[in-house]
Amino acid sequence: MRIIGDTNIQFVSRRRLFFVLSGLLMLASLAVIIVRGGFNYGVDFTGGSLVQLHFVQPVSTDAMRGVLEKMGEGGAGLQRDERGDFLIRAKAREFAGRETFSTKLSRQLGESFPGNQYEILRDEMVGPQVSKELQGKVLLAVLLGMLGILVYVSFRFDLRFGTGAVLSLIHDTLITLGFVALFNREVTITVIAAVLTMIGYSVNDSIVVSDRIREDVRKMRKESFFDVCNQAINKNLSRTIVTSLTILFVTLALLVFGAASIRDFAFVMTVGTIVGTYSSIFVVVNFVAEWEKKFPSKRRR
């Protein structure tokens, strides 16, 4: 079976169109992030407490809000999901000693709803110091990951492809983050892991095409560099789409059937895979072609 037969789509000569499209998408993402006032960061990064609470006898949101106010935590975020479980987010503060938010909450729940059994399904508390450290570590990991890719691609190919790969990576990250902000997904460490994985995958895709160009440049002496690029994309189109599909099958399954805590991850992976596929077809090679046009490499002339 074939999804895509032999194609000869003129990707490269229409590159300006795709540059404009990508630019618009990136601008839109930036705009969304700014309008939304940044991201909805999870406790990993803001510090604070996240408690997921399940009651045996259902409790109304108002009653729960009352409990929080009694605790002096009126500002805490409160969400009730379809199963009637509560997600409570309390602000960061100095957690002196062993009195954490959930300890106080347990005490207050015992007073306010005597006789109603509850279970704390999840309790995450990140102190201000730890969250600051995590921010630093994540930033470092993202920068190291990008640097590693730039170095590897530049070493295996050349600076053109390296720069192209990193540009597409920024492109993919920005657009994916735009979607994260648009759908108000929580940014946790897991989501960062998804972003990094997506980056790795997107570059993987770009490399396959670049590899083909490198191979064909040697073989197809008569064709122009643009034609070689264009054919490389076309030859790889089937593979690019098949691989993206298989990954999408998995991420969509995780998104639909996975546990709540994995859905944000699956969301980012799904969006990232689509954006990454787009960029490896329409952005990276076109960038390299544009570079070649501006600064023709001497070898080929």
Interface of this chain with another protein, residues 125 to 154, rule: CB under 8 A: 125-127, 129-130, 134, 137-138, 140-142, 144-145, 148-149, 152-153
CB of 46 to another protein, least distance (A): 13
Residue type present at position 40: N
Contacts with another protein by CB under 8 A: the residue count is: 79
Interface with another protein in residues 50-109 (CB under 8 A): 52, 54, 95-98, 100, 102-103, 106
Q: Cα–Cα distance between 254 and 260 in angstroms, integer?
A: 10
Contacts with another protein in 185-204 (CB under 8 A)? 189-190, 192-193, 196-197, 199-201, 203-204
The rounded radius of gyration (Å) of the Cα atoms in the chain is 25
Of 87, 98, 149, 77, nearest to 120 by C-alpha is: 87
Query: In the complex with another protein, which residue's Cβ is closer, 211 or 223?
Result: 211
Query: Contact between 265 and another protein (CB under 8 A)?
Result: yes
Per rule CB under 8 A, is residue 252 in the interface with another protein?
A: yes
Helix locations, the chain, DSSP H: 15-35, 43-46, 61-70, 101-112, 128-156, 159-182, 189-219, 225-257, 260-282, 284-294
Residue 213 binds to another protein (criterion: CB under 8 A): no
- Number of Cβ within 10 Å of residue 57's Cβ equals 10
Please report whether residue 5 would count as binding another protein according to CB under 8 A.
no
Subset of 20-39 contacting another protein (CB under 8 A) = none
Q: How far apart are CA 31 and CA 268, in angstroms?
A: 19
Q: How far apart are CA 65 and CA 86, in angstroms?
A: 10
9 binds another protein (CB under 8 A): no
Residue 242 found at the interface with another protein (CB under 8 A): yes
With contacts defined by CB under 8 A, name the span among 13-21, 29-37, 177-185, 255-263 that binds another protein. 255-263
CA distance 137 to 142: 9
Q: Provide the 8-state DSSP code for 46.
A: H
In the bound state with another protein, the residue whose beta carbon lies nearer, of 95 and 287, is: 95
- For residues 47 and 126, is the Cβ–Cβ distance under 8 A? yes
175 near another protein, rule: CB under 8 A: no
Shortest distance in whole angstroms from residue 196 CB to another protein: 5
Q: 112 or 243: whose CB is closer to another protein?
A: 243
3-class state of residue 82 by DSSP: coil
Please tell me whether residue 180 binds another protein under the rule CB under 8 A: no
